[in-house]
Structure 1
Amino acid sequence: MSFSFKLLTDTYRCLISGSCPQHSPADVAAVLFSSVCGLVSSTAEDVKVESEKQSTSELCCISLTVIDNMNLLLTQDTPGDVTLFFETCLIKLFRDMDVMTQLVHLFQTEDQIIRHLGAKCVSTYVVYHILKSGTVDAVWQQRCVEAFLSPVPGADLDSCLWSLTDVLKRLLKSSHQEVVRSLVSSFDSSLNALCSEFLPEGKKLFTSFPKTSSNHWETTFCLLLDLLEALTASGLRCGFSLPSQRLVHTRCPALLAVISGSSQYFVKKKVLLLLKRTVLQRSGEDWTSGEVLPNIPEYQQLDADVNVLAQTVLTAVEDDWLQSIEVKSVSFFGGTGHVGGDGGEEADFVMLRAVSLLLLKSMEVHVHWAGKPAAAAALDGAKEDYGYLQRLWSFLRRSSLELRNVTHLCHWVSVLFGEQDDDMVEAAKALLSIFQHHRPSSGLDDVAEQEAACASSCNPHCHFLLLLQSISFDHSILLDFLISAETCFLDYFVRYLKHVINDWQGFSRACQRVDKSRRPVALQQSVTRKSRTSGAECSSVQNPPLEPSGAIRLVDYDSSDQSESEDMDISEVDPATSVCEKQETAEATAFVKHKQYTSSECTGALTAVAPQSGQIPGCETSARALACLSELRAVVMRLRTKKLFPYNPSSLLKLLAQVHVCSQQSSN
C-alpha cells in the first residue's frame, strides 16, 4: 500500500477520533495537495504499486474527504492540540500552497463524484474561513461571480450554484445573520445578472443559451431554484435588504411561465413548491434555525413583495394560467403517467396541493391589502375572488377523478389536503379570511349567505367540521396541534372560534349539511385508495364506524379527569404568557408520554358529554363536534392547572367556554 494512501487513511481515522496524526502537518498538507492535483510525490516503485492498487481519482476522493472533515472539525469544540494541528494543515494548504485554486478547477471535471466532493470541500472551507476571519474567500468568490455573469448550463455553473447554496444553508442553520448579510451582499449584482439570463422579464425563456447546453438546462435550473430558496430564507431571517433576496417575488412571472411551458415535469413541480413555500413564508424551514423576524425595518419590504407575488399569480389565473398546468399521475418506481381518460390513474396531489395553496394564499394576501372597501367595490371584489375559486375548482375537477366525484364543494379541501395537516390548516385559514372579508358587504340573509359560501367552497364551518371529521373528532389530535412548535393551527383555531361564536346559526346549519354526507370524505379517500390497490371497486366502500379510528398521534392522553399520576414532561412556561405570544415560547414544545385512548374510553366520553352539549337533535356531526371541543377544553384546563401546558391558554379557554355557552343557549 502506498505511502500516500497510508498517510491519508491515518489522518482520516484521527479526524474521526479527534486525535493528532503521527505525521507532521507539513507532510499531511503536501500529500493532500499532491493528491488533489493528481500528482504523485513518491518514488517510481511507489508509483508502480499505487498504479496497481489505487488510482489517482481514488486518492483525490480520499483527500477531498479529509480536507472536508478538517473544515468541519475546526468548527466544533475540539482539544487544543488537535485544533492547532489541523489549523496548521489548512494554513499550509490554503495560504501557502493555494489549494483553493486547484479545488475550483475540479468544478469542471467530468467525474461527477470528484466534482461534488470538490464543491463540498470548498463550501465547508468557505464557512470555516468566513466565521474565523469575517471575509469571503477571494478565489472562490471570483470563480462563482465569473460563472454567474457568463452563465452556461454545465458542470462549472452547477458546482458554483451548489457551493453557494450549501454555504448559505450552513450559515443559516447556525444563525449567523451578519455573516449571511455580508455574503449575500458580495454576490448581489452577479446573482441578479444570473437570474436575468435564466428568468428574463419577457416570456421567451432560455433562448440565450447554446443548443449544446440545452440537455443540461434542467439540472442547472433546479440548482438555481435551490439557491433562490436559500436567498429567500436569508431574507426571512436577516431582513430583505438586498434585491437578490427578493428574486422569487420579482421574477414570479418568469417562474409561472416555466410552469406553463415545455420544461420537464419535475422542473415545473419544483418551481410550484418553491412558490408555495415563498407565499407561505416557509422558505428554508427544513434546514434553518431561528424565527422569522417581523419587526425589523427590512422585513416590512416582505409584505409588499408578497403582495406583488400574489397579484402576479391572480393576474395569471385570470389569463387562464391554470388551464396550461400539466398534472400527471402520482409518481412510482416506473415513473409517472398523464391523468385523464378512464384509466383510473391517481392524480399527483402534491402538485394539486401546491397550485391550490398558491392561489388561496394569494387571494388571502389580496383581501388583506384590499382593506375594507365600499359596498359596491366589495361586491365586485367578492365576485372576483369567488371567480378565482371557481377557476380553481374547474382545474381540480379536470385533474383528479376523486375530486370530480365531490358533490359538496367544501369537501375538496379535506379530500385534497387530508394527508397534509399543515397545508390543510393553511388552506382553511385562507378561506376563512376570504369569507370574513366579503361577508359584511354580501347583502344576503344568513341562509342565502351560507348557500353562496358552500357553492363557492368557502364556508368556514364546513371546513372546520370536515377537519374534525378527518381526525375522527379526536380531541387529543387537536391538542397535539396546539402544543406543537408550529403556530399556524393555533392562529386558525382562535380565529375560527371567534367566528363561530358570532355565527352559531351558521355552524348549526353546516352541521346538518355535513351530516347528510354519511361518508367522511377524508376517510373515504384513504379507503378508496386502498381498495383500488387491491382491485376493489370504489362503490364498495362502507360507512366508517362511529368510534374514533386509530389515527397516528404525536402524543396520547388519558381520558380520566381523576388521574393524578400523569407521566408527563412538558417544558414549563410563565403563566403570564398570552396565547398570541406562543411563537416566542415555541421552544418550550411539549414532550408528553401518556396512556392511549381505547375505543371504549372514547365512546364513553362521547356519551357522557353529548347530552350536555346542546347539539342539534338528531345531528350526529353536531354532537361529536361539540363533544370534541368540550373534551379539549377539559384537557387543556387540567394541564394548565398542573402547569404542564407550554404557554398560557387563558384566551383559548375563554373562547372554548363561550362556545359551550352558545351550545347551551341554542338547546334551550
Structure 2
Amino acid sequence: MKDFCEVLEHLYKKVLLGATLENDNQDYVFYLNPVFSGQDDAIATSSECSHTLGFLDKCQPCSVNLATTSVAPVCLKRCFQTSSAREILLLQLTVTKVMLTRILSETEFHAKEKYREIIHILLKSSDLDSKLTSMFQNSDKLLSHMAAKCLALLLYFQLKEKITLSNSWVAFCQKNLFECSESDKIVYCLSTLAVVIKEILKDTCSQKTEILKQFLMPFDSHFEVFYNSLFSQRFGNCQDATKVVNTLICFLELLELLIASRIHLESQFTCQRILFLKPSCVLDVITWPVQAFVKRKLIIFIKKCLLCKVGEDLCRGSVPAFTPPDRHLDVDMLALADAVLQAVDLGLLRTLSVHGKPSRFGGGEVPPGSEPVSVPDHVILRAASLLVVKSLEIKFQNCPSANEMKGDLQKFMSELLTFLEPHVQPSPPTHNPCEWLCRVFIEQDDDMVEAARATLGIYLKLTRECEAPESLTQEKEIWDHHTHENGYNPHCIFLFFLKNTTYLWTQYADQASASLAPRKSPWGPFRTTTHP
C-alpha cells in the first residue's frame, strides 16, 4: 500500500524496535488518530471514506516526512482509493498497541518518553478510549478484538499514569454488566477488564495495590449483579447458546483474576469474594447442557481455588510484606469446600464426561481407516479427585465430630472410587483402594503432591480424634481396615508410589540401555579404525 499506509508501516517498524522518533508529536498523532463514525460496518463504505477524507484535509500535519520518501497531504485521497479504510484502521490500532506495550516494558528512556507524550496527546485531543469502545459494536471480529486489546493497554497506561478513567467507558461497562445481555459487547467488555487486571498482577511496581483499588471500585456492585444474572439464567432458554458460552468463558477468566487479586490486595470488595459467597451458582453450570470443554475449564478453576493456586502463573515475586492477612479466607474456603461436597453428594461426578481423545504426534484426530479409541481424560480425573479430597481436608479442619468425619469420609471416598473405577485400569478395588492415588496422578507430579498432602491431612486429623488405646488391638485393626478401605492410608500410598516410580525408572533404564547398545551393521560387524 502507498502513502498513508507507508507512513504507518514505517512508524510501526520503528516502534517495534523501540527506536526514538524524531518528528513532532502532532505529526504522529495525526496518523494514529482513528477517524470513523463508529457505526457497524460503516468503516469501509464510500460515504465513511469521504467523511474521513474531509477530516484529514482539515487536519493536515505540520510536517509529514515520516517515511523514507516525502508524503504530501494531497496523496491521502489516493490512499483511500487504493486501500481499504479497514486496513488503515487496523494498522493504526496495531501501532498504538505496540507503542503502549513499549511504554509499559523496558524501553530506552528517550524513546519511551516520546511514546508517552504521543499517547497523552491522543487521549486529550481525540477521545481515543471512547472511539475504541464504540468499535465493540462492529461486526468485524478482528477489528473489535484489536480495539479491545488496544483499549485494555490504554486503560492500564492511564491507571499507571494516574489519569482518571473516561466516564463514558466506565458507564459503558457498568451498563453492560448490569444488563447481562447476550451481545458481543459484554464479551469484549469482560475481556478488556480481564486484560487490565492481568497486566496489574504481572507488574512488579509497588503501587499495584492502589491501582487495583482504583480500577475495581467503580465495578464492585456491578460484578455481583452480573454474577447473579449470568448463573441464574436457564441455558436451554437462551436464544444464542454460543454467545452465552463465550460470555461464560470470559467471565470465568475474569473471576479467576479477581480471586487472584486477593493475594495483592486486602479483600474489601465483594467481587473478590463472590465465588465463595455463592459457590453453588458456578457449580450448577456442570448440569447445564454445555460442551465438555466448558465443564473441564470450570472443574480446573474450582481445583485451583481450593489449592489456592489461582493466578500463580501471573503474580510475579512474593506477596508484599505489608499486605494484611485475609481474614475472610478460611471462612470462604470452608464455604467452597462444603458446596463442592454437597454437589458431589447430589451426583456431580456422575455428570462429568471423562472421555477424551488419544494424544498422537501431530494431533489427536483418528487416521483414516482406524477405529476411534476411547481414552479417559486424565485432566478431569485428577481435577475431580482433588476436588473431593481437598474439600474433605478443609471441612475436617473445622469439624469437631469424629463420627461425622468418618461418615463423610466413607461416603465421599466411596463415591470417588466408584467414579474412578471404570477409568483406571486395573481398577484399584481389585487390588488395594489406596493405589488409586498413584494411578490417577502418576503423570502429574504437582497434583500428586497436593493429593498426597490432602489425604495425609485427613489421616492425621482422624488419627488424633479417633486414637484408640494401646490395649484395644481390635479397635486398631478396625481403624487400619477403615483407612485402607477408603484409600487414604499414607503408608500404603507411599509404598504404591515407590512401586510405580520404581517401575517407571526400570522402564526408562531398559529403554536407555537399548538405545545405547551397539547395533549390528548391515555390512558386517563394526570395525575400529585408527586415525594417523
Query: Please, what TM-score do these two structures have when normalized by structure 1?
Result: 0.65
SS of the residue aligned with 1:199? helix
For 2:419 and 2:103, locate their aligned partners in 1 and report how far apart those are by CA, in whole Å: 53
Q: Cα 1:467–1:69, aligned 2, differ >3 Å: closer, same or farther?
A: same
Structure 2 residue 118 is matched with structure 1 residue 86: no
Paired position in structure 2 for 1:391: 415
Q: Secondary structure at the match of 1:320?
A: coil
Q: What SS is found at the alignment partner of 1:133?
A: coil
Matched, 1:318 2:345: yes
Is 2:4–2:76's contact at 8 Å kept on the other side of the alignment?
no
**Structure 2 residue aligned with 1:620:** none
1:8, 1:28 within 8 Å by CA — same for their partners in 2? no
Secondary structure in structure 1 of the residue aligned to 2:326: helix
Q: Take 1:384 and 1:26, find their aligned partners in 2: how far apart are those partners?
A: 70
Identify the match of residue 455 of structure 1 among 485, 493, 496.
485
1:79 Cα deviation from its structure 2 partner = 4.3
State the match for 2:81 in structure 1: 51
Matches of 1:546 and 1:401, distance apart in 2: 19
* Structure 2 residue 241 is the aligned partner of structure 1 residue 214: yes
Once the 2 structures are TM-superposed, how far is the Cα of residue 275 of structure 1 from its aligned partner?
0.4
8 Å CA contact 2:376–2:423 kept in 1: the answer is yes
Aligned partners of 1:168 and 1:180 also within 8 Å: yes
How far residue 304 of structure 1 moved from its aligned partner, in angstroms, is 0.4
Question: Do the aligned partners of 2:3 and 2:75 also contact (CA within 8 Å) in 1?
Answer: no
The question of 1:195 aligning with 2:227 is answered: yes
One-letter identity of the residue aligned with 2:288:
G
Shift of 1:412: 1.1
Opposite residue 198 of structure 1, the aligned amino acid is L
- 1:295-328 CA distance string (max 9 Å, x none): 9555120110000001111122222322222322
- Whether the aligned pair in 1 keeps the contact of 2:212 and 2:265 (CA below 8 Å) is yes
Aligned residue number for residue 244 of structure 1: 271
Aligned residue identity for 2:3: F
Distance, in Å, in 1 between the alignment partners of 2:185 and 2:337 is: 35
* Change over 3 Å in CA distance of 1:468–1:292 after alignment to 2: farther
SS of residue in 2 equivalent to 1:190? helix
Q: Which moved more, 1:231-240 or 1:38-47?
A: 38-47
Q: Which residue of 1 aligns with 2:21?
A: 21
**CA shift in 2, pair 1:394/1:80, >3 Å:** closer
Map residues 533-612 of structure 1 onto 2, 5 A cutoff: 545=506
Hey, what does 1:351 align to over in structure 2? 380
- CA offsets per residue over residues 259-307 of structure 1, 9 Å max, x none? 1221111111111111000011010112222335799555120110000
User: Is 2:211 aligned against 1:179?
Assistant: yes
User: Is residue 194 of structure 2 the alignment partner of residue 165 of structure 1?
Assistant: yes
1:368 to 2:397 alignment:
yes
Q: Is the 8 A contact 2:187 2:250 kept in 1?
A: yes
TM superposition shift of 1:464:
2.0
1:120-153 CA distances to partner (integer Å, 9 max, x unpaired)? 1111111111011164343332221111111212
The structure-2 alpha-carbon separation of the partners of 1:131 and 1:457, relative to structure 1 and needing over 3 Å to count, comes to same
1:570 is matched with which residue?
Answer: none
Identity of counterpart residues, as a percentage? 25
Q: 1:468 to 1:225 in 2, by over 3 A?
A: same
How far apart, CA to CA, are the structure 2 residues paired with 1:120 and 1:343? 40
Equivalences, count:
468
Whether the 8 Å contact between 1:252 and 1:309 is mirrored in structure 2 is yes
- The answer for the alignment partner of 2:184 in structure 1 is 155
Query: Paired residue for 1:423?
Result: 447
CA distance in 1, matches of 2:397, 2:277: 20
Q: The residue matched to 2:295 in structure 1 has which SS?
A: helix
Q: CA deviation at 1:81?
A: 3.8
* Distance change (3 Å), C-alpha of 1:346 and 1:114: same
What do the CA deviations read for 1:93-138 (whole angstroms, capped 9, x no partner)?
1111112111111112222221111111111111111011164343
C-alpha contact (below 8 Å) 2:358/2:374 kept by paired residues = no
Quickly say closer, same or farther: Cα 1:77–1:396, change in 2 above 3 A. Answer: closer
d(CA) in 2 for partners of 1:463 and 1:446?
A: 19
Check the 8 A contact 2:358/2:375 in 1, yes or no: no
Match of 2:221, as an amino acid? S
- Helix, strand or coil at the partner of 2:356: coil
Alignment of 1:432-511 (within 5 A): 432-440=456-464, 441=466, 443=468, 445-472=475-502
**What per-residue deviation string (whole Å, max 9, x for no partner) do you get for residues 357-381 of structure 1?**
01111000011111xx3xxx31332
175-184 or 112-121, which moves further after superposition?
A: 175-184
Is the contact between residue 3 and residue 79 of structure 2 (CA under 8 Å) also seen in structure 1?
Answer: no
2:431 aligned partner = 407
Q: List per-residue Cα deviations over 1:160-216 (Å, max 9, x = no partner).
A: 10010000011011141221122122210111111011123xxx6447x751x3331
In structure 1, what is the equivalent of residue 282 of structure 2?
Answer: 255
CA 1:60–1:36: 2 relative to 1, 3 Å: farther
3-state SS of paired residue (1:291):
coil
Of the candidates 169, 172, 195, which is equivalent to residue 143 of structure 1? Answer: 172
Determine the C-alpha separation between the residues in 1 that align with 2:423 and 2:377: 9
CA distance 1:335–1:44, shift in 2 (3 Å): farther
Gaps of 5+ in 1: 337-341, 473-519, 524-543, 552-597, 599-668
Whole-angstrom distance in 1 between the partners of 2:453 and 2:321: 20
How far apart are the structure 1 equivalents of 2:331 and 2:319?
16
Instruction: Tell me how far apart the structure 2 counterparts of residues 295 and 98 of structure 1 sit (CA, whole Å).
Output: 38
Cα deviation for residue 439 of structure 1 reads 2.0
CA distance in 2, matches of 1:402, 1:48: 72
For residues 200-253 of structure 1, the C-alpha deviation after alignment (integer angstroms, 9 at most, x for no partner) is 3xxx6447x751x33311111100000000000001332222110012222321
* Compared CA separation, residues 121 and 34, structure 1 to 2 (3 A): closer
| Contact 1:35/1:56, CA 8 A, preserved across alignment | no
Is residue 11 from structure 1 mapped to residue 11 from structure 2 by the alignment?
Answer: yes
Kindly provide the amino acid, as one letter, of the partner of residue 133 in structure 2: V
Q: Which amino acid aligns with 2:336?
A: L
1:596-641, Cα deviation, whole Å (9 max, x unpaired): xx9xxxxxxxxxxxxxxxxxxxxxxxxxxxxxxxxxxxxxxxxxxx
Q: Matched residues in 1 for 2:74 and 2:508: separation?
A: 79
Q: Return the structure number with greater relative CO, CA threshold 8 A, min gap 6.
A: 2
**Is residue 131 of structure 2 the alignment partner of residue 102 of structure 1?**
yes
2-side partners of 1:306 and 1:318: how far apart? 18
Structure 1 residues 263 and 401 mapped into 2: Cα distance closer, same or farther (>3 Å)?
Answer: farther
